Chain A
């Protein structure tokens, strides 16, 4: 098992390290700029965002004891989309710029997820009820977002669609510098909960009997997941499937022990998103596909394959 973990880890690191060199060849006068100011920051951002989405997805699946739980199913992504849309539509003309959209998306993500976290922390609802509440709020938030979009002019609608597909392209290191501290802190907090989550494998009541403070664990995991994913989604838009599929890939290849599942989901998530983004860059010559399109196109069939393969075991 240790050898397998080591093998997968090195493969992931290799993918991330190689990714800046994928794409149009790097000779010519602007090659240095393209490499250091476009491709390397893009790979770094992809690794951070993919790692966060993978780790948070794994933590949520462990917390909810449900393979469908991700930050998107408890409303984090929907809240971010609503926040971003509100700025894009209500303050048109782009005078606010990207940071305003990002900040609004971040606030939207946190507002929705903390509402869910409050239900979970009350300790009265089972985690399945919390998940149902999350899905309900996701649908309601989505409806409001659609309503907003319906009111908007063509230009802001187009902006909104672009945002909602997810993107990693950027110039320079601003995004990396803004997101990495948040992602690292949230990741560290989630990893500190591994022993509690491991104990919860036998159910919340049993974990309680083993000494785990269930309400505290729920609150810490939901809140740090929301902040980490909220920051990523705010900057890059919702990137589909990473948080859902990566933990499944890890679980089916390396087992479900939380001390392996969480950190390895971060690593595999980083490599998965960076690889998808490289593909997005080269798939159509001369065009940059939104990375969300690639993760969904690859992720959905892969997930179906993995899940049906498990059934036959």
Chain B
């Protein structure tokens, strides 16, 4: 019996190219896992495969020992919620309706869905946006609304794909704090990113030893260690093929490109 999300020997092949090769990981309830690696390492594919969205998969993906692929849609949505790297909406749609749509898995009245959507928006401090049209939002506002849809779906694991990619520095930090809050409130989080300096924002001071980091390189797992592990710099250097310097600022470690030759 293994509670939570369990991925074992996952290999994904697309157009005869192995995008993922033999990836195994386990996310127990309440855990936080950061998946890092350069572009094309297979990070997004890993999340898609976990959701049962990838074709050409071998290996097993289970949730509480049940294969995710054979789960009923609503049960799967109770387990896993997903923040894709890109979401394009062209329609004229109020924010509130978009967030309400994420309540699909619940059999509930329209009023109940509205209330749940409003409180999800409140969690990300976006109540004021509820009447706005999605296409008029700024990048930061849109990403907060996306987070609200995950909270409205109320799944046990949040799968986040480069959640702060297009945000300015202040919004990036704010967004990672929001993720951290969700984790602190008991959810599991899998956060895929190449932005290694945002990882420290996941953990409030003193909790860095609770965040695990999985490094992916060319589709294969390269390392797995705690965020406060002293060997993390070396491991990241290998995964990103570059030298890094570590700077300690206010108790957090930041990785900077080094001028040392490779």
Contact = CB atoms under 8 A, between A and B. Distances in A.
Q: Do chains A and B stick together as partners?
A: yes
Interface of A: 195-196, 198-199, 201-203, 205-213, 251-252, 255-257, 259
Contacts of A251: 91-92
Contacts of B52: 208
Q: Is the interface of A mostly helix, strand, loop or mixed?
A: helix
A120 B82 CA distance: 24
B234 to A, nearest CB: 35
Interface residues of B, number: 31
Given A195-B104, A209-B80, A201 B73 contact: no
A213 B70 CA distance: 12
Given A208-B52, A256-B93, 17 more contacts: A198-B101, A199-B101, A199-B104, A201-B93, A201-B101, A202-B87, A202-B149, A205-B53, A209-B82, A210-B77, A210-B105, A210-B153, A211-B73, A211-B78, A212-B104, A213-B73, A255-B92
Contacts of A196: 104
A210 B102 contact: yes
Interface string B66-82: 00000001111110111
B51 interface: yes
Contact of B93 (A203, A205, A252, A255): A255
Given A195-B104, A209-B82, A210-B104, A203 B87 contact: yes
Contact of B89 (A199, A202, A212): A202
A211 B74 contact: yes
A207 B48 CA distance: 13
A65 to B, nearest CB: 8
A201 B98 contact: yes
Nearest to B81: A209
B93 A206 contact: no
A134 B82 CA distance: 32
Nearest to B96: A257
B84 interface: yes
B97 interface: yes
A59 B147 CA distance: 28
A213 B84 CA distance: 18
B97 A198 contact: yes
A255 B153 CA distance: 23
B155 to A, nearest CB: 9
A146 B40 CA distance: 51
20 contacts: A195-B101, A198-B97, A198-B100, A201-B98, A202-B89, A202-B98, A203-B87, A205-B48, A205-B51, A208-B51, A209-B51, A210-B77, A210-B81, A210-B101, A210-B105, A211-B74, A211-B105, A213-B73, A255-B92, A255-B94
A201 B93 CA distance: 9
A265 to B, nearest CB: 14
Contact of B53 (A208, A252, A256, A259): A208
B88 interface: yes
Contacts of B97: 198, 255, 257, 259
B94 A201 contact: no
A198 B93 CA distance: 10
Nearest to A202: B87
Contacts of B80: 209
Contacts of A201: 89, 91, 93, 98, 101
Nearest to B52: A208
Contact of A256 (B74, B77, B91, B102): B91
A208 B149 CA distance: 14
A213 B105 CA distance: 11
Contacts of A255: 92-94, 97, 133
Nearest to B71: A211
Contact of A211 (B76, B84, B87, B91): B76
A212 B92 CA distance: 22
B94 A257 contact: yes
A125 to B, nearest CB: 12
Nearest to A310: B92
A263 to B, nearest CB: 13
A211 B89 contact: no
A32 B97 CA distance: 49
B97 to A, nearest CB: 4
B93 A211 contact: no
